[in-house]
Chain A
């Protein structure tokens, strides 16, 4: 009896947050779906909006760019910090460097955009060095610039996480391995890499969230219509919003949500199966 009552009290701790998420995200999301299945005058059109969307070149380009950005930028943003963390961990007196790597987090987005503009504009630093007067943000290199910007900005937080994960590996493991006659390189792969895996979960989730946030910088760098290699889903949806096209906006939001949900559920199941997260 008392244990059931205790369980109900435990549930009460979740209620305020749960009510808020339901009220501001879940319920209005379900309400918004009526736009996805109707036309502008409110007539039911079935899946016509979805077909239109998949036929739209802008939407396909935006989805592909977003996907490409994530599969390239997120792994880089995990591997580089892990690598730097392993280097930094063994260097006495240099750990304060991690604070330096966190510094982009405090710089305002507008100033970041300003710096990147002055680096890559046709009269910017890069063009000056190469003496060719190219507006790099209007070439295919814009994509690499976007990846670089993302990694530059978000590396610091993952580095702190990676350092923490590295510090959690007991020293004994390395001592035993040395006694066993294991080489440095084998130790790195057999101990360091394996024991860094639990920290990967949160690093991945943070990188994933921040990969959508790159839109802030891209928007300030290049406005609503950047070079086609960095035209993301966020640009597409924002433009639909500006054009008051609720049909396209909710339909693309629904598809995005569905894709992310599918991915996250799979990720969650793998995470539980491998006890990655426990």
Chain B
């Protein structure tokens, strides 16, 4: 069983390993090893099949991919900044809205509470394509089409944050709040001094999940942004993969750095948060 699990884990880690090591490969070698993937009619011309070759260790170790990416084509830095400009506001909105609303759902006494929450869950699970027209209508009405705001606002208000934070706050014992109320604490004090410190893990896992999700956005920019200079790296990578395969590995590493940093940095809190949400 142990061997089975380790083997499975090995399969999981291979793509990451290949991305890292092949990012030091020369572009010519990449074209030789993988180029055939994308013009697969080639073999009919040459008369023989050029199989895809996976190679963990490059023939020559070079920084040429990174050099091209960072110095010869500086627009990739702009795309990286676009990704940050889109992701950070969404993460901040999620933390603020998610934690306040989750607290509200915990303390607000009303029979509409569960109905509203059920509606939230429905909005949350809908595929993007189903909310596309509503989002589009509103962006059009506000005149924000083809700006980052047309993506940030609908995603920032997504009920996902409320769901995760509420799930984590459910683990807080009610009598803590009762005791605080007897001592005369108001809602703001209870929120900042009890609910938030106890849901810290939940907030951390929300940051990680939202960050991972927004950083990887694909559909929203393709629909709402007509100006390709505004696109995030996640969409640009798709085009690199199609017409400039030699850069894909270094560009992927470049793309993954913030995510890996956030994962490693927040993992401990993340697990705490997950534990809270699985408990209830």
Q: Mark B52-90, 1 if CB is under 8 A from A, else 0.
A: 101000000000000000000000000000000000000
Q: Mark A115-130, 1 if CB is under 8 A from B, else 0.
A: 1011001111101100
CA distance A15 to B97 in the complex (A): 9
Partner of A9, one of B161, B186, B259: B186
> B50 contacts A219, CB within 8 Å?
no
The answer, yes or no, to whether B255 is at the interface (CB within 8 Å) is yes
Smallest CB gap from B164: residue in A: A202
Question: In the complex, how many angstroms separate the beta carbon of B217 from the nearest chain A beta carbon?
Answer: 9
The answer, yes or no, to whether A274 is at the interface (CB within 8 Å) is no
Partner of A14, one of B104, B212, B233, B277: B104
Question: In the complex, how many angstroms separate the beta carbon of B82 from the nearest chain A beta carbon?
Answer: 15
> B108 contacts A14, CB within 8 Å?
yes
- Give residues of chain A (235-278) contacting chain B, Cβ–Cβ below 8 Å: 237-238, 241, 246, 249-250, 253, 256-257, 260-261, 264-265, 268, 272, 277-278
State how many residues of chain B have any CB contact under 8 Å with chain A: 101
> B122 contacts A260, CB within 8 Å?
yes
- Residue picked from B129, B131, B138, most chain A C-beta under 10 Å: B129
Smallest CB gap from A167: residue in B: B275
- Which of chain A's residues have a CB closer than 8 A to the CB of B267? 99
> B134 contacts A32, CB within 8 Å?
yes
> A13 contacts B191, CB within 8 Å?
yes
CA distance A106 to B213 in the complex (A): 10
> A25 contacts B98, CB within 8 Å?
no
Question: In the complex, how many angstroms separate the beta carbon of A92 from the nearest chain B beta carbon?
Answer: 11
The answer, yes or no, to whether B214 is at the interface (CB within 8 Å) is no
Dominant secondary structure at the B interface: helix
The answer, yes or no, to whether A20 is at the interface (CB within 8 Å) is yes
The answer, yes or no, to whether B234 is at the interface (CB within 8 Å) is yes
> A20 contacts B97, CB within 8 Å?
yes
- Which of chain A's residues have a CB closer than 8 A to the CB of B141? 28
Q: A108-B216, A260-B125 are in contact. Are A28 and B134 (CB under 8 A)?
A: yes
- Give residues of chain A (100-115) contacting chain B, Cβ–Cβ below 8 Å: 100-115
> A268 contacts B154, CB within 8 Å?
no
The answer, yes or no, to whether B278 is at the interface (CB within 8 Å) is yes
Q: Mark B128-145, 1 if CB is under 8 A from A, else 0.
A: 111111110110010000
Since A32-B133, A110-B234 are in contact, a sample of 5 more A-B pairs with Cβ atoms closer than 8 Å, ordered by chain A residue number, is A10-B109, A13-B101, A111-B252, A121-B52, A253-B131
